[in-house]
Each structure stands twice: as C-alpha cells, then as structure tokens.
Amino acid sequence: MPNRANRPEDMTAPGMTRNYTLALAILATLSIFAFFLLLLIINTQQTTAGTVNVSGRQRMLSQRIAMLSLRLSVTNDDDERSRLRRTLKETIADMESAHHRLSKGDPKTGIAPPSEDVKRLYEQPPNDLNKKVAQFLAKARKLADSRASLLDSDNPELRFIIIAASDDLLASLDRVVAEYQAESEAAIGGLEVLVVVLLGSLLLVLIAEAFLIFKPMVDKISEQTARLEESYERSQGIADTLQRALMPKNVPQIDSIDFASIYRSATTEAMVGGDFFDFFQTEDGNWAILLGDVAGHGIDTAAETARVKFLFRDRASGGGTPTEIISQLNLAVLDQGVERFTAITYLNYDESRSVLTMVAGGNPYPYLSPADEFVEISGIPVGIVPEAEYEAVEVELKPGDTLFIYSDGLVEARTKNVLFGYERLQKSVAADPDRPLEEILLTLVETAKEFAEGNLQDDILILALRRKP
C-alpha cells in the first residue's frame, strides 16, 4: 500500500482542493477582467457607432437636400411647393446640426471631439469639409427662399446642389465617414487584442484545471453554433429563392436576337437585393425588357421589387407608347405610397423593324457595341415626383450590334473613391466585342469586382442583346 506520507502535497485532498480553488480563483479573476473589458468594448462601440451613424446621416441628409431641391424646382403646385420649402429648411437645419456636433463634439449625445486626423479633413484642403458643407447649405437655403419664378431646372443654386451632392461634397463626406470607421476599428482592435489574450488565458486554465467543468459548456456552444449555421443556411436559401423569383424563370427566345444576363450581389449576407429585370412579349407582338434597381436590400426591398414588376407588366400589357407606359408606372408607384424609388431602363423591341425604343430613369447610359457609343438618355427614377417626364430614343440594331443595359452598381464600383466608370466598361467590351455574350458579361463583373478590391458597394445586374448576323 502506498505511503500517504510520501505522496506529493498536490496529490493530497487538501492540495487538490487548494489547486482547484486557486484555478477557480484565477478563472474568476480572468472572467471579471474579461467582463469589464467587454463592457469597455461595448461602450467604445456605442460611442464610435453613434459618431459613425451621425456622420452617415449627414451624408444621407445631403442626398435628401438634393432630392428636395430638385422636387421644389420642378413642381408647379403651390401647396406642394410650400410643403417642400418647409421640409427642405428642416432638412438643412438637421444637416447643419449634425455637422456641428461632429466637427465640435457633443457630450450630450456621446460624440467625442474629432481627432487631429478628422480635424484636418474638416478644416484643411483638399477635403475642407467645413467649407464645402457651409457652401452647400448656403446654396440650399438660397434655393429654399427663392421666388417661385426663379425655380426651374436651370437654377444655378440647384445645379450647384445636384453636382455637389453627387460628386465633390459626397466624396468629402465619404472620406470623413471612412476615417471615423477606421478610427473606430483601430480603437476597438486594441481592446480586442486584450480580449484574445484573456480568452487564451481562460482557455489554458480551463484545459489545465477545469476541463471537465466546462466541457458541457463547450458542447452546448458547439450545438448552438451548428444551429446558427443551419439557420443561416436556411436564411441564405430563402434569400436566394427570393432573388431568383425577381428574375424571369424562362427568358423568351427571339429569332433575331441573342440575349444574356448576369447578376452579382454586393453582399455575402442572407439579404435580397433590389436589382431585377423582366422580359416578355406584349399584345402588339413587340418585346418588353425592363431593368430596375429598387433602393435598398432586404425583404421590404424584395416586396417593393415584386410590386414594381407587377405594376409594369400591368401597364405594358395595356398598350401605349414606351413613354406613356413609364409615366403610368411612375404614377402607379406613387399612388401605392412607397418610400423607395426605382431606377429603370425600359426597352421595347420591334423585331419586324429591328428597332429598340428606350426609356430611362436614373440608370446609367446604355452602351452600344461595336459602335462604341453610349446612348445618352436619362430621366427621374420612378416613385419620386408625379410630374416626371420621360423621353424615348430609338436605336436600330444592325446585324452584329450589341446593346448593354446595367444597374449603377457596375459603373459605380470604386476603390479609394475612384469609380470604375464608363471608360473601363468600354475597354472591357472593346477588348473582344465578338465574344459570346455570357463571356463578356462575366468578364465585366469580374473586372469591376477586381477593381473594387472585392468590395462591391452595390449589386450589379447587366443585360445584353445582340442582333444575330
């Protein structure tokens, strides 16, 4: 029989109890540190998230001011004009307040004073956001106070607002948002390193002294993780099904036309995008092709997309010219009381004449190859103003001609605030315009994604029609 007196002290009951108690004490201490560190991370995330959110809201308000300014300039209704003036002034005040809180800090709302790097973006060229915001708001105020006789699409204040909101000011706001996000990530990153160290220490203690206590917990976590993965897969499946439902199940075959399409989502999350298209034959024997881009992602966007498709089919089936159909669609969307606008490109193809009649509202210019030219047609997206007017352009498709229509996610793919743009689209197609359409479209999407360093900002949908030789 072993001599108890010769056992190592750690093997005795008191020693094992002491070791076990010490392990639990270490575990408890590390857990307390981890708890307070997590609280610090949460507080930091809340503070930085508030700042990023206000900065992002400032960007949104600049776009809203541009939209309200446009609507104020084109409306002919006195009551509507008064309402738009009031709303525009309120939005201007909101943006001014948001900018002041960001540039100076606001302890009441948890916004810290800006760092030196952010201050430079606010105060120094080339970003000089304080000056740009002040000029933008001054122009907006002047427009809001302008007499009705001075309100039209050629108003100099309106032109300044539209250009600034879509170019220089927008880029400056994006730089500030990016800097806030970078500082937020850096602040949280240091804390996350400490979390990793604490978690590693906890893991060592658990493995060395308390594995049997925490094994059931590990098993439970594994079980919950598996359930979450299964739930995500189901959600992804539902999202994929909804996205496919927004595209035609069976694309019609036209004797004189080759047709191809490609869609690429900007997100890997289980979310439905707003890009869609429809393709069918109308009662007069022509072919209707609609490419749309509903603002946003998610179930609400999917529902709005389905509604726009239904309304379009209903109006297109009722006859009328392409401009009449889109005008009716615009009014129908507004009558539904929707909160999202939809950019569209509508093609009506008369196969007997090989003529495409185009109407557009908010989408980029269609591109014709091998003529290597863009069809410069534009208009207001549907769902913004009832007075929107649309123009139609006819293009004859000659044998070998290919027309590309696409959502703005293609030309607005960006890296370091540089857009993919029309010129890169031209170069990609012109490299070999006689390739199969599917190959051209895949190359376009992959080239845009590579240009954006794999980080697409918006979904991409491209349709191509080629007149057979």
Fold for the domain defined by 246-467: Phosphatase 2c; domain 1 (3.60.40)
Residue type, 261: S
Do residues 452 and 414 touch, judged by C-beta distance below 8 A? yes
Per-residue pLDDT of the chain (469 residues; tens, 9 = 90+): 444 444 455 445 565 566 667 667 776 786 787 777 666 666 666 666 667 777 778 888 888 888 998 898 888 888 998 999 899 899 999 888 888 888 888 778 777 788 888 888 888 888 888 888 888 899 889 988 988 888 887 888 888 888 877 777 778 878 887 887 787 777 777 766 776 776 777 677 667 655 555 555 556 567 767 776 676 566 555 555 555 556 677 788 999 999 999 999 876 554 567 889 999 999 889 999 999 999 877 777 777 888 888 899 999 887 889 999 999 999 999 998 777 899 999 999 999 999 999 999 999 999 999 999 999 998 999 999 999 999 999 999 999 999 999 999 999 999 988 999 999 999 999 999 999 999 999 999 999 999 999 888 889 999 999 999 8
User: Which residues of the chain are in CATH 1.20.120 domains?
Assistant: 41-185
Q: What confidence score (pLDDT) does residue 7 get?
A: 46
Q: What residues does 355 pair with on adjacent strands?
A: 350, 396
pTM score:
0.51
- Strand pairing of 414-415 and 418-419? antiparallel
> DSSP strand E in 313-415: where?
342-350, 355-361, 367-369, 373-374, 392-396, 402-406, 414-415
Q: Which of 388, 402, 374, 298 is nearest to 343 (CA)?
A: 388
Q: What confidence score (pLDDT) does residue 347 get?
A: 96
Residue type, 16: M
User: Which residues of the chain are in CATH 3.60.40.10 domains?
Assistant: 246-467
Class of domain 41-185: mainly alpha
* Residue 116: how many other CB atoms lie within 10 Å: 6
